[in-house]
Structure 1
Amino acid sequence: MHPDIHSNTNTKTIKKIYIPVSTKFWLSHFIAFLWMCFSIYISMPWLKDLSSIISFPFALLIIIGISYIPGYMNAFLVASLVFDRQPPFKNEFSTDSVTVLIAAYNEEEKIFNTLRYLSKQDYKGKITTMIIDNGSTDNTVSEILKAKQELDLDIAIFHEEHPGKFHALNKGLQYVTTPYVITLDADTLLHPSAIRYIVARIKSSSEEICAVAGSILVKNSRDNIWTKIQEWDYFLGIASIKRLQGLYQGTLVAQGAYSIYKTSCLKEIGGWPNAIGEDIVLTWRLLQKGWKVYFEPLAVAFTEVPTSLKHFVRQRSRWARGMIEGLKEIKPWEQPQLYTKYLTFINLIMPYLDFAYTFFWIPGLVLAWFGYYWIVGPMTLLVLPLTLISYSFLYFFQKKYVFTSLHLKVRKNFLGFLLFVLFYQMIMSPVSTYGYIQEVFKLQRIWK
């Protein structure tokens, strides 16, 4: 992208209209507010009918949770995506030295392939790879030694016997001397230009930028219908939230699977915390310092997603617990920047929305199946058009700006998309609610 468009027929330069981030923020809120006002107006009969069955306050509480707030948030997302313009790189071909940290526990089947893809990066700067074996009991170390011998990589191996990814990453951080450090999961494959683009983004940003989250996509979507559904979650759902947060300079999770950080910032806050959502709490600590976190859609990595419902529940309930850990440590009003206050406040009300969806919307859908439209009815469908619009914007952005630029193709997966749009939230909200309950009662942590 270029800031100016030059005419071939004359010397006039037509400048693109620049809209400040603050203007985009408040204008998107205004559009979302208008949508919510419209929703409230046309939902009056619904509210009246539901109030005749249960009390008015309880009826209002239900409708706020399953319609008004989700509608507002979707409208804000759509408006923000319309205004979003990824700033150009100042230098796409940086040569700064970087360190890649990989925490590995029993990854003998995947670690070599991860390193093979890492060795094929088109980045011209020096890449030092530090792998921290976190007490593996299989042949992980042997596979790392094999990669060190066969691949064109500068690999150093460290051992950390204390279990926990945060222990392993902090062990590696002690030995990092480069200005930037990248975290990479042991089962995640990098696109050949992934490091070049993520370094270019952090180098092209202002001094307040302390981290950039990479774009995570699914590599095992062909395994079964469950992974096909998750492919759309990463491609559309998670990516849209990341773009929204990146626009407002407060990406809430620089995920450990693939992100870059300024080494000095990591060391200043003491590295990764002892938390089940260590990357969430880490990011919020960075934001609390007044620093900013971006998202780079061109810095693509491919990860394996759970192939069974059991492992999916463990993963997403763990993410929900991590969000609660972050909220308990750093309240939204304690964040120094307005945008970050708002983005973390959304997380503060997510438990209420997931609870409402789980215990009101899903039972209401069952009632609607038998002809009782007390909770779920035509008014609730107002959220669906906005959802489809936001996904359409993101689909065309991902396809044109990301996939075409990286010479990738979007897989044909209509069934997965249909199931994702219609049923995915029916699973996600109960799973997230389960994660919140786990954290409240401090149940045993399960990483895998």
Structure 2
Amino acid sequence: MQPNPNSLNTYTKTVKRKIYISVITKFWLSHSIALLWMCFSIYISMPWLKDLSNIISFPVALFIIMGISYVPGYMSAFLVASLAFDRQPSFKNEFPDDPVTVLIAAYNEEERIFNTLQYLSSQDYKGKINTIIINNRSTDNTVSETLRAKQELNLNIDIVHEDNPGKFHALNKGLQHVTTPYVITLDADTLLHPSAIRYLVARIKSSPKDICAVAGSILVKNSRENIWAKIQEWDYFLGIASIKRLQGLYQGTLVAQGAYSLYKTSCIKEIGGWPDAIGEDIVLTWRLLQKGWKVYFEPLAVAFTEVPVHFKHFVRQRSRWARGMIEGLREIKPWEQSQVYTKYLTFINLIMPYLDFTYTFFWIPGLILACFGHYWIVGPMTLLVLPLTLISYSLLYFFQKKYVFKPLNLRVRKNFLGFLLFVLFYQMIMSPVSAYGYIQEMFKLQRVWK
């Protein structure tokens, strides 16, 4: 899945739908299907629950089985049903020309910043694009490389300097110089598909007035480096994208990620800009949702990012994401959200620590026991979640290939080994890493970004 600066798309097929199903109807239909699945799971799992209760008592057995089977099964069924109902609305105007500003916070990015700006200069967007590079205490040639890009590329680039460390400081500094109605944040190592900005603006212009932000679609650009990057390629292509589509369907994308998202400038300024948080984009998005505004997701607005190729860097990144989620929950409780959809979606985040802890401290040890013939915790019943996972991934793979990659002239790279490892083992790594992040935030350990 590699970026191609020459692959322009000027046509998106519009599919006419004969039957309209409202979002609220899709929401409750998906819940009903998920509830039926969970009831079926509970019914056939009674012998398993009884056997485990004889060993560790009924309350403890129920606590474990709920965390590794019932709740994950319910969530997987809800995801599958929602993806089946999801239909991306067509654009009212696929070629908007509103002026936008792109903010790029840069700290020692001399090896990447020119390439990022080169892809930005290849956009097929007809409106004016202002680019603000916020130099955040760089000690290398980031500034000189930016000046080279300004001279050689057809870009309107301004450079501002921020001496206070932290991405939120840099973005807020850049926000002071934004005069356009829309602002886009872009990481200095992220490359844009030529139609990326056009599709972001087209989505927000085609949406109701209470839409305050649109999250772009992030894919992996360095998946050829090693097997670890190959696994993460599928996480972004299937795992993260499926969650984004689910949340976007219910108008409450929980993270308009700082790597590539578009916001209404007035909304960002109204809530005071980016917060002092390790997950500044998470807390920012939740503040926007709390205001009653909505956040969409646009799968055609594709950008390519670098993923960690070393395990320790992966752990730092994902534990930081977990900490950011806790920061958001601490500031804004699910019941404080203004819409029923975002109440539910943030409530899922509220129970994620429970699921990650039960998976880490019960499912993984149970799997080890199962290898020695002791099926007390992990057994045939736990495999009920696997078919739902494969169905959801199949639905999303079909959607991504037909409705995203094909219109954008992109190709899904063959990566069977990465997919196999992703399906079978990725969660065994992710849950412990997330649990580690929760513990870090609980004890307020030092923040580490890279």
TM-score range, shorter chain: over 0.9
1-structure distance, mates of 2:289, 2:199: 22
Deviations 1:384-408 (Å, cap 9, x if unpaired)? 0000000000000000000000000
Larger RCO: 1 or 2 (CA < 8 Å, sep 6+): 2
The one of 323, 340, 344 equivalent to 2:342 is: 340
Q: Runs ≥4 in structure 1, deviation > 3 angstroms?
A: 1-4
1:413 maps to a residue whose letter is N
1-structure distance, mates of 2:37, 2:303: 36
1-structure distance, mates of 2:444, 2:203: 38
1-structure distance, mates of 2:378, 2:398: 31
Cα deviation, residue 16, structure 1: 1.1
The aligned counterpart of 1:56 is 58
Instruction: Tell whether the 8 Å contact from 1:3 to 1:16 is kept in structure 2 after alignment.
Output: no
Deviations 1:80-108 (Å, cap 9, x if unpaired)? 00000000000000000000000000001
Instruction: Tell whether the 8 Å contact from 1:215 to 1:295 is kept in structure 2 after alignment.
Output: yes
The aligned counterpart of 1:36 is 38
1:243 maps to a residue whose letter is R
1:139 maps to a residue whose letter is N
Asked whether 1:140 is paired with 2:146, we answer no
Asked whether 1:220 is paired with 2:239, we answer no
Cα deviation, residue 369, structure 1: 0.5
The aligned counterpart of 2:120 is 118
1:389 maps to a residue whose letter is I
TM-score normalized with structure 1 length: 0.97
1:282 maps to a residue whose letter is L
2:235 maps to a residue whose letter is D
Instruction: Tell whether the 8 Å contact from 1:103 to 1:134 is kept in structure 2 after alignment.
Output: yes
Q: What count of residue pairs does the alignment treat as equivalent? A: 438
The aligned counterpart of 2:304 is 302
The aligned counterpart of 1:9 is none
2:59 maps to a residue whose letter is P
CA RMSD of aligned residues (A): 0.6
The aligned counterpart of 1:11 is none
2-structure distance, mates of 1:148, 1:91: 30
Asked whether 1:291 is paired with 2:293, we answer yes
Deviations 1:169-225 (Å, cap 9, x if unpaired)? 000000100000000000000000000000000000000000000000000000000
2-structure distance, mates of 1:311, 1:377: 33
The one of 391, 401, 404 equivalent to 1:402 is: 404
Cα deviation, residue 303, structure 1: 0.0
The aligned counterpart of 1:8 is none
* Aligned partner of residue 398 in structure 1, secondary structure: helix
TM-score normalized with structure 2 length: 0.97
Asked whether 1:194 is paired with 2:200, we answer no
* Aligned partner of residue 372 in structure 1, secondary structure: coil
1:143-162 to 2 correspondence within 5 Å?
A: 143-162=145-164
1:328 maps to a residue whose letter is R
2:389 maps to a residue whose letter is T
* Aligned partner of residue 128 in structure 1, secondary structure: strand
Cα deviation, residue 110, structure 1: 0.4
The aligned counterpart of 1:326 is 328
The aligned counterpart of 1:255 is 257
2-structure distance, mates of 1:430, 1:262: 36
1:49 maps to a residue whose letter is D
Asked whether 1:279 is paired with 2:281, we answer yes
1-structure distance, mates of 2:36, 2:339: 25
The aligned counterpart of 2:435 is 433
Cα deviation, residue 2, structure 1: 3.6
Cα deviation, residue 3, structure 1: 6.0
Instruction: Tell whether the 8 Å contact from 1:198 to 1:260 is kept in structure 2 after alignment.
Output: yes
2-structure distance, mates of 1:315, 1:115: 24
1-structure distance, mates of 2:159, 2:363: 50
* Aligned partner of residue 39 in structure 1, secondary structure: helix
The aligned counterpart of 1:24 is 26
* Aligned partner of residue 263 in structure 2, secondary structure: strand
* Aligned partner of residue 31 in structure 2, secondary structure: helix
1-structure distance, mates of 2:351, 2:278: 20
1-structure distance, mates of 2:144, 2:45: 63
2:181 maps to a residue whose letter is P
2-structure distance, mates of 1:146, 1:362: 52
2:170 maps to a residue whose letter is A
The aligned counterpart of 1:203 is 205
